[in-house]
Structure 1
Amino acid sequence: MMLIAFIGHGAIASHAARRCPDGAEIIAVICRPGREAAARQVMGAPAITEIADLPKRPDLLIDCAGHAGLRAHGLAALRAGIDVLTVSVGALADAELHSDLVEAAEAGQAQLSVASGAIGSLDALSAAAEGGALSVTYTGRKPPLGWRGSWAEEVLDLGALTAAATHFEGSAREAARLYPRNANVAAAVALAGAGLDNTRAVLIADPDATRNIHEVQAEGAFGRFRFEIQGNALPDNPSSSALTAMSVVREIRRRISPIQI
């Protein structure tokens, strides 16, 4: 039996908990102080506020709580020798946090891994990067309201758009810095392939879009490819990707399966 714990009890974590595969047991959920009752009810597991309060040592800690959750609890878990899976890949664009996570993982002889999240093609990108000279562009297109609360509001009147408008074009690292809640996909694409500083990101608000659309174009020694996915949101949270939640379940299943693909 693989023992797992979660950071966070939002839509992604609760989806993964409800669909936790046989062979895995949820032993705890880490939440903010004062949220223990809600976390316990949603996740069906003991709720705690610190790594030190874990009732048992988990084989895997799953971060579904955003950049702050990874910073607050991921470092302590790695130093304690606990492997961590995160959906908060955009946090790795912070060079200081990235360095701290590497140091913590090395100190605890543990590993931080990244869920594939809302995008596919990361395996192909990782393989293509081995050939060098890789050129990668990520394009993220969402309905205008999907960018509400982000940097896009500084450069566009989202409520008045009648045609698609680009509100960011630059490196994946800069996209992750300006859009901490929206740029996990750009960061995942970058880390899998050409790197945060060498991956071009283009972010678009499109009033004709009915879904979040992610596109990856890559060219290198391997050849070239173009990948596009039109993702649905989770029914109980329009801002959370259904595929991101599914990727967490898939990673749990992969780790307990005798054959890994």
Structure 2
Amino acid sequence: MTELRLGMIGFGAIGQQIARQLSTVPVGAILSTPRALEQTRAVAPAGALVTADWDAFAAFAPTLVVECAGHAALRALGVRVLGLGADLVIASVGALADHETEADLRRAAERGGRIVIPSGALGGLDVLGSARHAGLDKVRYESRKAPAAWLGTPAEDTLDLRAVTSPVVFFTGTAREAALAFPKNANVAATVALAGTGFDATEVALIADPEATGNRHVILASGAFGEIAISVNGRVLPDNPKSSVLAPSSLTRAIEMAVARCVI
């Protein structure tokens, strides 16, 4: 079996949590931005190459790269990573809602490494994917978070988040619309869409709830197979209330699954 050589793009709150959780695979190289380079070096695992230079990162010859740096980073670097022959684990799944980005990455994967999409902050993608083969007609995804988690997003264009006193549905639309409008909050919507009926057939509702105790994700699906109702209420990352503790953990699991001899 080929040795797994792990690289990471970005090393913020999610990347650092992944590094803390890993027990079997060391982080070998981290690609940073020039602005964050010194800060990243200060918190990087001992022995890891930390660089802002693509050529130096590529020379490390990673076999698996985890992207946790945002939509722009995935668009700029995803094709390059796959071109190295490395598998690419994507955190910023919502970037695939852009037709050109998805097409470019899929073409690159046909010639190079695989695209790996983790479950993120929810569960049930296995049964949703199975239902797609058994007959899946309708999928609805709901995201319920505290108002503060929606600050800095288009939600502020429709309501005063600091004055919300009861749950408010401020967005309804397709998974494509949600993922593109809320790039830091709706990556899960994109993941649900890819597992099920696609970006344009997946219904999405985004909710600001002042009584939310975490980030709640709900999948409702129906079809010839039967019905699915899945709900996950995840604790938020202390350094990033827009994301859940489960999000980096799902990336950690994807890394470990790449070397596991028993896969579940």
* TM-score normalised over the length of structure 2: 0.94
Q: 1:86 aligns with which of 76, 87, 90?
A: 90
Q: Secondary structure at the match of 2:166?
A: coil
SS at match of 1:131: helix
Post-superposition shift, 1:202? 0.5
Structure 2, unaligned runs of 5 or more = none
- Asked if 1:118 corresponds to 2:93, the answer is no
- Are the counterparts in 2 of residues 212 and 232 from structure 1 also a CA contact under 8 Å? yes
Aligned residues: 259
- What secondary structure sits across from 1:216 in the alignment? strand
1:11 is matched with which residue?
13
* Correspondence for 1:20: 22
Letter in 2 for 1:31: S
Answer yes or no: is 1:242 the counterpart of 2:245: yes
Contact 1:51 1:76 in 2 (8 A): no
Mapping of 1:87-166 within 5 angstroms?
Answer: 87-107=91-111, 109-166=112-169
Partners of 1:159 and 1:36 in 2: how far apart? 35
Secondary structure of the 2:258 match is helix
Distance 1:90 1:221 in 2: 28
Distance 1:95 1:123 in 2: 24
| Superposition pairs of residues 209-224 of structure 1, within 5 angstroms | 209-224=212-227
Q: 2-side partners of 1:239 and 1:181: how far apart?
A: 7
Matched residue SS, 1:201:
strand
| 1:38-69: CA deviation from partner (whole Å, max 9, x where unpaired) | 11222222211243212421110000111112
Letter in 1 for 2:11: H
Residue pair 2:164, 2:210 contacting (<8 A) in 1 also: yes
CA RMSD of aligned residues (A): 1.3
Superposed, which structure 2 residues align to 1:68-87 within 5 Å?
68-87=72-91
Percent of pairs identical after alignment?
A: 43
Per-residue Cα deviation, 1:171-226 (whole angstroms, up to 9, x for no partner): 11111111111110111111100111000000111112121111000101111010
Q: Whole-Å Cα distance in 2 between the matches of residues 50 and 114 of structure 1?
A: 26
Q: What is the CA-CA distance between 1:27 and the residue it aligns to?
A: 1.4
Q: CA deviation at 1:16?
A: 0.7
CA contact (8 A) 2:185 2:242 kept: no
Distance 2:208 2:26 in 1: 41
Runs of 4+ in 1 over 4 A off after TM superposition: none
Letter in 2 for 1:27: G
Q: Residues 117 and 68 of structure 1: is their aligned pair in 2 closer, same or farther, counting only changes over 3 Å? A: same
**Contact 2:141 2:192 survives alignment (8 Å):** yes
- Counterpart in 1 of 2:43? 42
Q: In 2 relative to 1, CA 214–21 (structure 1 residues): closer, same or farther, beyond 3 Å?
A: same
Structure 1 length as normaliser, TM-score? 0.95
AA of the residue aligned to 1:234: L
Alpha-carbon shift at residue 94 of structure 1 (Å)? 0.4
Distance in 2 between residues matched to 1:101 and 1:185, nearest whole Å = 19
Moved more, 43-52 or 227-236: 43-52
Aligned amino acid, residue 200 of structure 2: D
Deviating more after overlay: 233-242 vs 95-104: 233-242
Deviations 1:142-166 (A, max 9, x none): 1111111111111111111121111
- One-letter amino acid of the counterpart of residue 165, structure 2: T
Point out where structure 1 has 5 or more consecutive residues left out of the alignment: none
Matched, 1:255 2:258: yes
Is contact 1:51-1:77 (8 Å) kept?
no
Tell me if the contact between 2:136 and 2:221 (Cα under 8 Å) persists in the aligned partners: no
